Every structure is written in C-alpha cells, then in structure tokens.
Chains A and B, each alone.
Chain A
Amino acid sequence: MKRIEVIQNVLEANETIASRNQQLLDNHKVFAINIMSAPGAGKTSLILQILTRLKGRLNIAVIEGDVASTVDAEKVQSEAKAVVQINTRNMPESCSLMAAMIESALKDMPLDNIDLLLIENVGNLICPSEFTLGEHKRVVISSLPEGDDKPTKYPLIFIDADAVVINKMDLLPHVDFDIATFRRSIEGLNPKAEVFQLSCKTSEGIERWCSWVLEQVETNATKL
C-alpha cells in the first residue's frame, strides 16, 4: 500500500468554472449579481423592481434558477432583455445554482447587448453559500415574516454577502421582527455588507437600493 499526498480543494472544480464565467462576463462588460434568499423572501419581486426602475438606463438580463417550473421566468419575461430559466431538478444539485449551470446559460445570452445580469438562485439559505457562480456581487434577502434570527441560524450565506436586503418592511407592524437585532447580527458577521430596508410591495426604500445597483454597475464598468 502506498500513500499519495493530494491537498486539493473539492470545490475547486466549481471555482475554476466560476472564474471562467467572470472572465467571460468581464470581456463583454456584463456585471452580474447573485441573488439568494429563502423561498418566498422576494427574489423575483426585487428583480422586477430593478427591471422596472433601471431598464431605461441598463440592458438587463435574468437567469432564473428553480427546482422546477418557469413561473418566475414568465414574470420577468416582458421586462428583461433576455431570460434563461434553469431547472435544477435533473441536475447533480437541485438545491443551488452552480457555476457550470451558469456557464451553459451564458451561451444562450446576447452578452454584448447586456450591462447587468441578475441571477436568481434557488430559494435556500444553506447550499448557495458554498458555490460561487462567477458573480461580481452577492446579495442576500431576508424578509420580515422569516424572523430576525436568520443570520444567527444560517451565518455562512450572510458572511459572504456584499449586500443584505430586508424585504417586506410594510409588514413591520404585524410581525415580531426586531430590525436592530437583525442589523446587529449582520454587523457582527459581516461589517462590510451594505444593508437595505425596503418593501417590494410599497416600493419604500427601492430607490436607494436601485441607486446602489446602478452605482455597482457603473463602478465596475470604469474598471474594465
């Protein structure tokens, strides 16, 4: 019997494809945001808000990740420049998008005509935290009905986020969500994350959020 030293990161295969994706996006001057949350927190609603507000200034494409169905893709179809639906049910992982899925979705996208790519991940607070896709920014949405303890229960996804969105602010009078507790947890885990309080339903706070998105796209464009 013989011992072989290996020392090889098991996630390297995903990370290699992710950096290739980012290179391809950079070559075409496309800025990509990976949007993650639990099911029902408002990923599609937030994407629709971005599309409505920014479609006059940016060409926006969407990749929709879901275990099954095309309902989300249908919702954003009319507003986006291009939409690709990925159904993960028959893929090696159904609980998260992975870099290889994005790589093949990018083949169907008119990248030269796109400034911003919004990637809606599968609704899940655990699995997507392990897989980078080639995105430039990672955004996590938490909504008030989920409770203010999510960063404590699922720290990894919040630790790697560039921005954290607190959605459904219109429900504040009706739920026991302590904004200060939530913000303190984020500040502890990830002091660099920008935090946004908004409601996709009433549009409260959406303007500040969309300015941030626009600013990220423009800042990245000047770097390329």
Chain B
Amino acid sequence: MHELGVTENIVNIALAKAGEAQASKVIQINLVIGEMSGFVPDCIQFYFDSLSKDTIAQGAVLHFELVPAQLHCRSCSTIFHPQDTLWSCPKCQGQSVEISKGRELYVESMEVE
C-alpha cells in the first residue's frame, strides 16, 4: 500500500534517463525487486500506468526480476533461503540470522526508442 511514492520515483528515473538518451519512447523498464522488500509488483504497475500517462513512458512494460531472499546465519555462516517463517538455519538450527539479499528495489535498465 506504499507503492505510489516509489512508483513516482520510478517514473522520474525513467523520464530522466530517457531524456539523457534523447529517446522518444520508453518501451520497457527492467526493475530488480527483492523478495523481502515490502513492494508489490502488480501494485507498482497499476500506479505506473496512471502516473506515466501523457509522458513518453506511457504504455511501457515493467519487467520485474525477483531476487530471492538470502539469509546468513550469524552462528555458522550458512547462507540459506528461508523455508519457514521462523528463519532458522537449516544447518545449526540457529535463529540469529541477517538478510544478505532480498531487500533491494532498483531500476536496472530500460529499453527505449
């Protein structure tokens, strides 16, 4: 439910970069989104369609590359994907973990004309 502001940022980034490249149309925007980030791709696309209206990004497709969550066990350094909500380490069952991947949200690249 907090996607409107970030979608505004995505539109601003896309229009700025397209401007620098002297593009006349944005075809696709490739985003990288972490599994742990609280943002919902469908929701971003929904806001995007409305915010990009009457700009050169209107009609652009948002492509999301999902980065799976990766946790790091502070006790035994095992890197693992959380299997349950308790986030326990599959090797030592330790529950002291940190997120090493999965919180990102960035514009990776764009396709323009």
Stretch of A33-41, A77-85, A126-134 at the chain-chain interface = A126-134
Q: Is the CB of B96 within 8 A of A187?
A: yes
Q: Is the CB of A2 within 8 A of B23?
A: yes
Query: If the complex has contacts A13-B12, A127-B1, A188-B95, are A2 and B107 also in contact, measured as CB distance less than 8 A?
Result: no
Chain B contacts with A in 1-53, Cβ cutoff 8 A: 1-2, 4-6, 8-10, 12-13, 17-18, 21, 23, 27, 31, 36-39
Q: Is the CB of B111 within 8 A of A3?
A: yes
Indicate which residue in A2, A9, A126, A185 contacts B105 across the interface (CB closer than 8 Å). A9
Chain B, Cβ-Cβ closest to A9: B106
Q: Is the CB of A11 within 8 A of B105?
A: yes
Query: If the complex has contacts A6-B108, A7-B107, A152-B85, are A130 and B37 also in contact, measured as CB distance less than 8 A?
Result: yes
In the bound complex, residues from chain B placing their C-beta under 8 Å from that of A155 are 87
In the bound complex, residues from chain B placing their C-beta under 8 Å from that of A129 are 38
Distance of A26 from chain B, by nearest CB (Å): 25
Q: Is the CB of A1 within 8 A of B13?
A: no
Q: Is the CB of A8 within 8 A of B106?
A: yes
Asked if A18 is at the interface of the complex by the 8 Å CB criterion, the answer is no
* Interface residues as binary, A183-213 with B (CB distance below 8 Å gives 1, 0 otherwise): 0110111010000000000000000000000
Asked if B91 is at the interface of the complex by the 8 Å CB criterion, the answer is no
In the bound complex, residues from chain A placing their C-beta under 8 Å from that of B104 are 9
Q: Is the CB of B37 within 8 A of A6?
A: no
Asked if A96 is at the interface of the complex by the 8 Å CB criterion, the answer is yes
Asked if A4 is at the interface of the complex by the 8 Å CB criterion, the answer is yes
Q: Is the CB of B2 within 8 A of A96?
A: yes
Q: Is the CB of B111 within 8 A of A1?
A: yes
Asked if A98 is at the interface of the complex by the 8 Å CB criterion, the answer is yes
Q: Is the CB of B38 within 8 A of A6?
A: no
Q: Is the CB of B6 within 8 A of A11?
A: yes
Q: Is the CB of A4 within 8 A of B110?
A: yes
Q: Is the CB of B112 within 8 A of A127?
A: no
Q: Is the CB of B17 within 8 A of A6?
A: yes
In the bound complex, residues from chain B placing their C-beta under 8 Å from that of A6 are 13, 17, 106-110
Chain B contacts with A in 57-113, Cβ cutoff 8 A: 74, 85-87, 94-99, 103-113
Residues of A in contact with B (beta carbons under 8 Å apart): 1-14, 92-96, 98, 126-127, 129-131, 152-153, 155-156, 159, 184-185, 187-189, 191
Question: Lowest 9 CB-CB distances: which A-B pairs, in order?
Answer: A188-B95, A127-B2, A92-B5, A6-B107, A188-B96, A10-B105, A93-B5, A4-B110, A9-B106
